[in-house]
Structure 1
Amino acid sequence: MSTAAACPSPATAAASGLPAFSTQTRLLVVAPHPDDETIATGLLVQQVRAAGGEVRILLLTEGDNNPWPQRWLERRVRIRAADRQRWGLRRHAEMLQALECLGLSAPALQSLGWPDLGITDELLRAGHASVAALSAAIGRFGPSLVVAPALADRHPDHAAAHVLVRLALAALADPPPLLNYLVHGRAGDGDSFEIHGTAVQSAYKRAALVAHRSQMALSGKRMLRLAARPECHAGLPSPLAALPWRPPRWLHPWLRLSVVGSAGVLSWRWRDAPLQRDRAGRFQLSMLVGTPCFARLALTVRSPWIFDHWGWCELSGHAGEAGSGLAPADRPG
């Protein structure tokens, strides 16, 4: 399907922070689930293609752990492994139809087949292997620009995908620029720019979204609302010297702090973590695991709510340095 539309001129691109697209542009979009590529980058993809550039969509999961729409459409209560596999195939087929609306053919899609709602576990349990697989996929395509979920995204798969992409890019000798999109949550501070499309591009983006029929069944209004927003892409926020969280003391026994970096993964119960307080009362880690380094705070008890409350943050190399006036952190009794 044709996606002819005006692309930003170099002068316009420079003024907005948007790279100027050309036949040399190689855009890699990292999508945790089918439909993320359309909601977050449907206009961007069309504009790169209109400029003659190449686009690759790297799909991390098939979106198969999506029980409520499946129960509704298939009129079933119990979802077995075979049912989930069939649902994943359905969502994959819908995604191919959506990509056709955006001007892409089937070879533009590469799937890693990771577990839906399991990217965080993939990262924490098999960090080096997951990073290596993602780094290899990026290296094979050789993108000039990578677009991936933002660290601030409250969906656990999205934030974990950001961490994996950052570590994978750090492993490359000459990593391409990275921009971030936010689907779930509110944008934070930092530089960002919006991509606006023509009426034709917006119509094709809407058609691509409608192709994700399984997701539109129960969440059509919400998805259309998300897709109608300008596509906002941001650079990386500054790393933090201290953890941004001050969880209530009564929750401490059920909290787990994990740290992921280029040197590996570490995880502790909150009460056992190597924490100290600075003069402002903020918690700091006395050890990091390479650069870049990310921390995650999560409850250890199961909840029907899938979105992260605390989520992830990026820590600077100055966290926990000697001579910063740190005191031992308070521990629950």
Structure 2
Amino acid sequence: MEIPVGLRLMVFSPHPDDETLAAGGLIQRVLEKGGSVRVVFVTNGDGYTEGVRTSLKEKNTSSNDFIEYGEKRHDEALGALRALGLQPENGIFLGFPDDGIDDLWSQHWSSIRPYTSPYTRYSRPEYKERFSRWTEYAGMDLKEEISRTLEGFIPDWIVLPDPRDYHPDHCTTGVFVLDAVRQLNEKGDISFSETKIFTYLVHYFDYPSSNQWIKEISVTGIGGTRAAGKVLASAQWYNLHLTANELEGKKRALAAHHTQIQVLGEFLKEFMRSDELFCQLSSTQTLNIPIEYAARFKRSRS
């Protein structure tokens, strides 16, 4: 995987820590080669019950506990960005509902009937970084926020969660980004001749601990279903081999995510390897994946 000089890279992270696990090395490489990076955190990771209970050291929780947990994960994400060579302003926090991104796509597309997080009790982004006070927890609003981040930066490369990831927040975040890119391409704001789309896995069978996942991925659709399976089958995977310094930087960034190490330490350490893998999507795949997935929920156009 060759990284051009002066690349403009935008990485979409469903939760704080995914940016480090999947692309911590890539981010450092882009910066080293004179490029610029933006990391978009779609949620603050404020719906992780086991994490909140571990942090509090008790089983009973309140909505305020989840909100405070989301704020803590926000601050940890800023620490991770610094460890990767970025500044706080290079992180964009959308504040959408953890453990609810798939619900926005399938059941709460319209802002007329927004989703309410069962954890924070929010029905709109209430964190201080929100783009607009009028934004609701609705699929159409999340797509609009993603489009605004893309239009505000115009990246050369967009890196997003692979739609085949088993985690609902991950796979659906990937589809949301692809849908925003599709629409911007139709408007003429993004050209596929100039913009490359790459995906990454975090939650998938035997990934990254063994190569068994390779045998499964070619017959997998969105979220492990059959949806868009044929569209995704031909996607090509690329390897980025990290230097010793880049791997050390990635480890420092992971260490900033204290709350996650408490609960998922052994799993997270699996990603501290000398290689990062990315799947490149063609323009045809980028255009067709969100359309096919929208049709599954009886939306002919998403």
What's the TM-score once normalised by structure 2's chain length? 0.73
- Aligned counterpart, 1:106: 88
Q: Paired residue for 2:101, among 119, 126, 139? A: 119
Q: Does 1:154 align with 2:166?
A: yes
Q: What is the DSSP-based 3-state SS (H/G/I as helix, E as strand, rest coil) of the residue aligned with 1:235?
A: strand
The answer on 1:210 being equivalent to 2:210 is no
Higher strand share: 1
- Tell me: higher relative CO, structure 1 or 2? Use CA pairs within 8 A at least 6 residues apart: 2
Q: For residues 19 and 135 of structure 1, what CA distance do their matches in structure 2 show?
A: 27
Q: Distance in 2 between matches of 1:265 and 1:134?
A: 21
Deviations 1:154-205 (A, max 9, x none): 0000000111011000111224211000011135233111111111110110
From 178, 183, 189, the equivalent of 1:166 is: 178
Cα shift at 1:52: 0.8
Tell me the TM-score normalized by structure 1: 0.66
- Partner of 1:33 in structure 2? 15
Gaps of 5+ in 1: 1-17, 240-258, 269-287, 294-333
Q: Distance in 2 between the 1:148 and 1:267 partners?
A: 22
Query: What is the aligned partner in structure 2 of residue 46 from structure 1?
Result: 28
2:295 and 2:48 map into 1 onto residues whose CA distance is 28
Q: Is the 8 A contact 2:27 2:37 kept in 1?
A: yes
Please give the secondary structure, in 1, of the residue aligned with 2:271.
helix
Highest CA radius of gyration, 1 or 2?
A: 1
> Going by fraction, where is helix more abundant, 1 or 2?
2
1:292-303, aligned counterparts within 5 Å? Answer: none
- What is the identity, as a one-letter code, of the residue corresponding to 1:120? D
The worse-fitting range, judged by mean Cα deviation, of 73-82 and 39-48 is 73-82
Choose which of 181, 191, 199 in structure 2 pairs with 1:180. Answer: 199
Aligned: 1:267 with 2:249: no
SS in 1 for 2:272: helix
Match of 1:21 in 2: 4
Q: How many residues end up aligned between the 2 structures? A: 235
Q: Counterpart of 1:233 in 2: which secondary structure? A: strand
Q: List structure 1 segments (4+ residues) > 4 angstroms apart after TM superposition.
A: 262-266
Q: Structure 1 residues 219 and 262, CA, compared in 2 at 3 Å: closer, same or farther?
A: closer
Deviation at 1:19, TM superposition (A): 4.4
The one-letter code matched in structure 2 to 1:182 is L
Post-superposition shift, 1:77?
Answer: 1.1
Q: Distance in 1 between matches of 2:141 and 2:240?
A: 34
Q: Amino acid of the residue matched to residue 73 of structure 2? A: R
